[in-house]
Amino acid sequence: MKRGTVNANRVIIMTLRLGSLFSIIFMIAGMTMFLLSSDSTEQVYQSLGLQQILVGLMTIDSVSLMTAGILILLMTPLLRVLGAGLSFLLLEKDPAYALISLGVLTILIFSLLVPQL
Amino acid sequence: MILFYLFVTGIFAGSFGALLGLGGGFIIIPALTILFGMPIHTAIGISLVGVIATSTGAAIVYVRDSKADIRLGMLLELGTTVGAVLGAVIAGFISPRALYFLFAFMMGYNAYSMYKKKEEPSQKEKTAVEELPYDVKNIPAGISISGLAGIMSGLLGIGGGIIKIPAMYIIMGVPLKVATATSNFMVGVTAAASAFVYYFNGNIDPVYASPIALGIFVGVMAGTRANARISPNSLKKIFVVIFIYIAIQMMVKGFWG
């Protein structure tokens, strides 16, 4: 593989590692808090809205912490596509695949908006 | 206690999923619906989180991921992600019963696919094959099949790797190891496309999803060492049996609810 590709891969993987780390920390923190509290696991928890999560994080609510962890995890593939796209564009000078990556990224971002339609 | 069992389920899903280039959905969904008795739509949401965990986990743990053909993956993902969003949207309108049957059918195909999978080549052959450059053929067919894999992903909460790997390997002429590594990359992107739809529809239970995701990270890391001890062919046979068993169970669930 070309030097540029290898370096780009390293950066992407480092970003994924960082993202995964944050995700894991939030999830463990949330789970620990959940176990310590007497919340029942019988209850079905719905995913919280973003505003609720931000409020929840400030009050260190267990479910908000776990949800934040999951949302970060859900972001990691997006980061990967973004990273690959930038790598194609800037490092490998491959505009065709940069465009394809942009296409995939657009579809992913669109998926965020679909439920609002 | 249930959280611990979910964690263990995650470990299994992560270790086998990453090894086979799958997302682990085939282990998570039957476990959640049959063992834990969850409604299938909830199970699917959680499974999608699991597939992403497997994909990202495999990326940061497995050095072999450098074999992934990112260009091919990205191209095929144009098809898969569209399919995934469609599948996720339609899923809300499909009855749980239909989903059970569909899943059972996929499991049957899974078993068949595993059964027909070629034996791992010997060590010497392996290195020779990996170095060969390959030409990617039948791209439009590949994208269409990827679209189908995407719809399955959105409907059933699987990664779609079980469709993509044979598509790449058999139809597009990609070496198996490259197909597997590329699939590891692709399933994460595909699942992300459906996951957000499920999330904003309130279908991802964070309390159950977290232990699964954590288990998966552990499974992906521990998986290589554990799986190296078992011969790939016995592994294959075990999986064929397990998949058939799950297919039957899911059909039963479809009939009896």
Query: Which residues, including other chains, have CB under 8 Å from residue B103's CB and lie 6 or more apart?
Result: B29, B30, B40, B156, B250
Taking the C-alpha atoms of residue B154 and residue B161, their distance in angstroms, rounded to an integer, is 13
Of B68, B53, B73, residue with least CA distance to B220: B53
Q: Is the pLDDT of residue A65 over 60?
A: yes
In order along its 257 residues, chain B shows pLDDT tens digits of: 888 999 999 998 998 887 777 778 888 999 999 888 898 888 999 999 999 999 999 888 876 557 788 899 999 999 999 999 999 989 888 888 899 898 888 888 888 887 776 555 544 445 444 556 777 778 888 899 999 999 999 999 888 888 888 888 888 888 888 888 888 899 999 999 999 989 888 889 999 999 999 999 999 988 766 656 666 677 778 878 888 888 888 888 888 76
How far are the Cα atoms of A7, B23, B186, B208, B209 from residue B220, in angstroms, in the given order? 24, 11, 16, 19, 16
Q: What residue spans of chain A are helical by DSSP H?
A: 3-36, 50-58, 62-86, 95-113
Question: pLDDT band for position A44 (50/70/90)?
Answer: low
Mean pLDDT, residues A30-34 taken together = 90
Residue in B closest to A17 by C-alpha: B60
pLDDT in tens, B123-151: 444 544 455 677 777 888 889 999 999 99
Of B157, B147, B175, residue with least CA distance to B53: B157
Is residue B144 packed enough to be buried (19+ CB in 10 Å), middle (13-18) or exposed (0-12)? middle
Chain B touched by A15 (CB under 8 Å): no
- Of B78, B85, B206, which has the smallest distance from its Cβ to A110's Cβ? B85
Taking the C-alpha atoms of residue B75 and residue B248, their distance in angstroms, rounded to an integer, is 35
Chain B touched by A55 (CB under 8 Å): no
Rounded to the nearest angstrom, the minimum Cα separation between A17 and chain B is: 6
Q: Are B59 and A16 inside 8 Å of each other by CB?
A: yes
Rounded to the nearest angstrom, the minimum Cα separation between A40 and chain B is: 10
A57 chain-B contacts, CB cut-off 8 A: none
Partner B, chain A 57-86, Cβ-Cβ below 8 Å: 63, 66-67, 69-71, 73-74, 76-78, 80-81, 84
ipTM above 0.95, yes or no: no
Q: What is the pLDDT of residue A23?
A: 95
CA-based torsion, B206, B207, B209, B213: positive or negative: positive
Q: What is the pLDDT of residue B120?
A: 52
Taking the C-alpha atoms of residue B241 and residue B85, their distance in angstroms, rounded to an integer, is 32
Higher pLDDT, A8 or B208: B208
Residue in B closest to A40 by C-alpha: B207
- Of B59, B85, B214, which has the smallest distance from its Cβ to A111's Cβ? B85
Q: What is the pLDDT of residue B136?
A: 79
CA-based torsion, B99, B157, A53, A113: positive or negative: negative
Q: What is the pLDDT of residue A38?
A: 66
pLDDT in tens, B165-198: 888 888 888 888 888 888 889 999 999 999 998 9
Taking the C-alpha atoms of residue A28 and residue B73, their distance in angstroms, rounded to an integer, is 32
Rounded to the nearest angstrom, the minimum Cα separation between A47 and chain B is: 5
Q: What residue spans of B157-231 are helical by DSSP H?
A: 161-166, 176-200, 206-229
Torsion of CA A37, A27, A24, A106, to 10 degrees: -170
Q: What is the pLDDT of residue A26?
A: 93
Q: Which of A61, A104, A112 to mutate to test the interface with B (most CBs of B within 10 A)?
A: A104
Question: pLDDT band for position A46 (50/70/90)?
Answer: low
Chain B touched by A17 (CB under 8 Å): yes
Sort residue B209 into left (φ over 0), alpha (ψ -120 to 50) or beta.
Answer: alpha
Question: pLDDT band for position A106 (50/70/90)?
Answer: very high
Q: What is the pLDDT of residue B65?
A: 55
Rounded to the nearest angstrom, the minimum Cα separation between B71 and chain A is: 7
Mean pLDDT of chain A: 83
Mean pLDDT, residues A8-33 taken together = 89
Q: Are A84 and B75 inside 8 Å of each other by CB?
A: no
